[in-house]
Amino acid sequence: MPCHTADSPSFTQAQHPVAKTRPYGLEAWQCCTASLYRAVRQGLCAICCLLALQTSPLYASSSLPTAVRLALDRAQVTPDAVSIWVQPVDAPAPSLIHNAGTPMNPASVMKLVTAFAAFEQLGPAHIWSTRFASTAAITNGTLTGDLYLIGSGDPVLDQDRVSRMLRRLRGLGIERIAGDIVLDASVLSLPPHNPDAFDGRGLRPYNSGPYGLLMHYNTQQLALFPARSANEAVTVIAEPALAGVVIDNRIVTSGAPCELWYRDLEARLEPGRRLVLSGSLPGSCGPRTWSAAPLPPAEYGTALVATLWSEAGGRIGGTVREGTAPAGQSTLISHESPPLADIVRDMNKWSSNVIARQLLAALGTYSGTPTSDAVAKGAEQVQRILAGAGVATEGLVIENGSGLSRIERIRAADLGQMLIATWYRPWMPEFISALPVAGLDGTARRRLGTSPARGQAHIKTGTINGVRAIAGYVLDRHGRRHAVVMMVNHTNAANTADAQDALLEWVWAGKP
């Protein structure tokens, strides 16, 4: 019987080392020693098997590379607070493991798990379609009933697309809606969401929850223009304008150096939908863009649609409100989202928590069973998808799929296995191209600096208080690609970027 390695054409997906790592190294050794024994008896040569073993380590090293260990020492982080997994994508076993079986908080690296499940379940070309529909007729420029905007769970339904749809309605001859504009978000059944739960800063956009008719990421951009002199008012322009939301601007220009320019800025919502902005912006920073999520998604949607319909020159006899579209309605206008591949790119390049939450909830609707909590059902679906791909899920905890969580957990070994499994998926190019490139773009654009490894690592970064993580792929200087995972859970985790960069450089140098 011939020996088959991971890159042999007869090595099937079921046999591929996705679910296991070291056992395959042992099996390879047993197979090749058996071949050598037969070779002696039969006068054949089995040197090829032994040579293959030299390029695929039988046992992974558990010793931290010196540069990584020294950087952790400088950060005052103990090795037990770190987990690492490194494996060449064409090897049957990891080349470096350290605490890889310990579940750890991955922060935003959890978005890789959400992306894997979404690609596996939906495919990179999947789209969402949002519709305007009605049961009423159009007579003399008036829609003689209600207009329904029916959501599909689209993660990236932005202001421009909603505005374009409304302008097209005007193009159909609708000048006035006799009834209401009803926003139907029933595609996602969700429990109440508390935006203050994570860090008490509920008006920050990253804390927005999923919604069946999420618009413009539930975010209002605030363009800030400092004055020429200190203590003078900063000019604020809100984009988009939200009907009924009053901006109370109290931000002043300061003479401080431009460092963490947003540090002193605060936003709070007072009765009457008054958004109070306070703090200071250093004049030396020049114009900046800040963001807020002043309203829950349902209220945000009604305020945005009211504004955009008015801007399109439309009139309305009733109000803009939440509701459910009746049976028998006919579609007037529909608009499709970008494909999932583009959406995942937006999510991972810039670590969008809102998109990740939305994708996890969307996965819950594809479970095949009714649910009152699409997020919880989505988490169950992710577990099944990973298990079906041969990735172990012991210790995996998914709260919202974004990593913006104190309880989400995954083992480095399982995350590494998932990255290896990804390498053999047909949508692998879309998955990798969605990752930030270290030193060049996205959240990793400032990593590796002048290092020769700059531009050679596609990595997702993750950072919350007490957590710093990276995961992705590194192309070494010999042209071999490796899956890399490193997670740090420690009070000093914020100081471990150098240690993570040292690991990337170690892999790039071809040390594994």
Model pLDDT for residues 411-457, shown as the tens digit of each residue: 999 999 999 999 999 999 999 999 999 999 999 999 999 999 999 99
CA distance 233 to 253: 6
Query: Using CA atoms, how far apart are residues 226 and 286, in angstroms rounded to an integer?
Result: 6
Residue 209 has pLDDT above 60, yes or no: yes
> What are the b/e assignments for 254-269, b being 16+ CB within 10 Å?
bebeeeebeeebebeb
Within 366-452, residue ranges assigned H as helices are 374-388, 412-423, 428-433
Q: What span, in angstroms and rounded, lies between the C-alpha atoms of 485 and 435?
A: 14
From residue 233, alpha-carbon distances to 104, 228, 282, 414 in Å are 45, 10, 11, 52
* Average pLDDT of span 102-128: 98
- pLDDT confidence of residue 147: 98
pTM of the entire predicted model: 0.87
CA distance 86 to 483: 6
Q: What is the pLDDT of residue 50?
A: 38
Given a contact cutoff of 8 angstroms between Cβ atoms, the answer to whether 359 and 164 are in contact is no
Q: Which of 341-345, 459-463, 507-511 has the lowest mean pLDDT?
A: 507-511
pLDDT band at 371 (very low <50, low <70, confident <90, very high): confident
Residue-wise pLDDT for 49-88, tens only, equals 333 334 444 446 678 999 999 999 999 999 999 999 999 9
**More confident site: 48 or 218:** 218
Tens digits of per-residue pLDDT, 142-167? 999 999 999 999 999 999 999 999 99
Q: CA dihedral defined by 148, 124, 118, 494, rounded to 10 degrees?
A: -110
Own/partner pairs, 42-49, CB within 8 angstroms, 24+ separation: 49/3
Q: Calculate mean pLDDT across residues 378-383.
A: 97
Residue 23: per-residue pLDDT: 32
Question: How far apart, in whole angstroms, are the C-alpha atoms of residue 406 and residue 427?
Answer: 30
> CB–CB of 370/429 below 8 Å?
no
pLDDT (average), residues 319-338 = 97
Whether the pLDDT of residue 312 is over 70: the answer is: yes
Q: Which residues pair with 240 in a beta bridge?
A: none
